[in-house]
Structure 1
């Protein structure tokens, strides 16, 4: 079983693969187009070269908006590697007689095959679980790309190679090593990113959960000694809520779904959610998430204590303004109690007003109960 840091490294690297795939395909498309200008091809070959350039540009765009061959799995990766060799071999046969292309060895656009080495050098082969296998794959790719010009020259010149051909292939090999080492540099940066992320996660754990185990053990001992299990579980739930809140609010942008879930979990089986809000993938800046999370916790506590424990929680996005409607089926909240300056509702309202939001007591309708609207802009007004 792979170590957690290996799994984190593979996950982090996989996230970086996609933009690099797109850049590589874009550079390959550029090489193809420039080859049509710099190299001399047979009659009728230029449309093929331009078509290949357009195809690579289209693939780069698809990678940006979808997924590339490396992120789709080893089968697609093999197809892409095969395409690199096939395209370069095809272009070499399309060259006009006597044209030796940029490297002087009959291989046009030498960088076309070298650029992917940068990605191959930090691609998480086998999820970094088997270093020997990964090194074997990487070395095999470097050797294959370095020797590919020799295969092209052998096929085109019936293996009648000159000293100039050999020197050109040696130059090509040096550039292959340079591109490969560039990829290894990117791999080193990935490892730095993983180390920083691991340290951040460790700090978050220590801040939020460092003493949580002792609370769990203390709760078990209290239950064993005869304390009310429901009371103990309620206290433990409040501690859990506080720890989750600490973890949530360390992010610069907090998921609205996570905020609502944590506020609901605080009350356990004392709260029945009649209609959950549809929040999608909405994220909220941390300064607003702190106020929203505390506000929802207070409103739901009011439902549990005075509103019968059943609540309908609705959400709407009015432009850049979040609107939460909290409706319960209790005896109702008197307007004068809501407007009391020292009440929880008014303390929450003052915080919301500072951020451009508001807290309003709504008409509950013929069914009675209490209806409160919490409104908060996603961003500060400029």
Structure 2
């Protein structure tokens, strides 16, 4: 199948102007002037999408999703369900990274790996982190390093909990050893080997990560902290960490646009900021004594929703916000064929109406998953 998305305003994520995108065999073959009649003469199936009046952008990357569900902090009945294919595609997400959360006892790394493989078979690109909140952290092979080296989909460790009553309260040296294992695994397998940290509401904030950089031979890019918008003080700490060269991640919510604007205004390095949805993770609510009092479920759709709301409501251009859900994420995770519209990159493409940013079409590896806002490819057990 050959697909031509013509006459759209292309953001790669930097603005390229009005151009056409040629997709051949799941890859972007050309961006620019394309004579569709030449390809139609080849007697091959050619699909032409008129994107006049639309913007054409890279497929979104969500670096923090609970593919097999999360939660359980309120008992067994509060375990959240597994994610389905269209939960991702109808939000423009074409690449996703799965992880475990609090529960590494009744949820298993092998189940997470199997779920990731299943979603890939259904059409999107998937990766996973090894581990969960706790240190020592659960793995598949018995070693963080070996998981990263030997298992194709494992690109790092996560989500290791710091500054949170639900974490294992690891020592600085324990964290350093874990981060080093992930990094060595990454070096030996040409992967990111990052350690993705769950940051809780505790008083220490990101202090342990600053200490790791100060006291150990750990490159800043190996540290990737999420949930950084729990307080203004935590965001300030995240700005300081990002400006040292680490990456930080905002979990999307209704306050995300204001936090992105705050991050930029107060000197944060936007090239080291990403967004994630925490999709299908639980949203537990605790009182001031640490007692569980309520629960919600995060939606992957918040990634797209809040990124576009930032463009609508803040003094930030589309080309400033798009990297937070495309190229920045690809950079920190070393996803070398993702996050950009460029020749020989995977044909992960989202077409949106200009101005409203309503989703029209979503392509994952060249296959149309969403047409005029509706899923045309569904997961195996979706109706």
Q: Name the TM tier (shorter chain).
A: under 0.3
Larger radius of gyration: 1
Greater helix percent: which structure?
Answer: 1
Greater strand percent: which structure?
Answer: 2
Alignment TM-score, normalising by the size of structure 1 = 0.21
Alignment TM-score, normalising by the size of structure 2 = 0.21
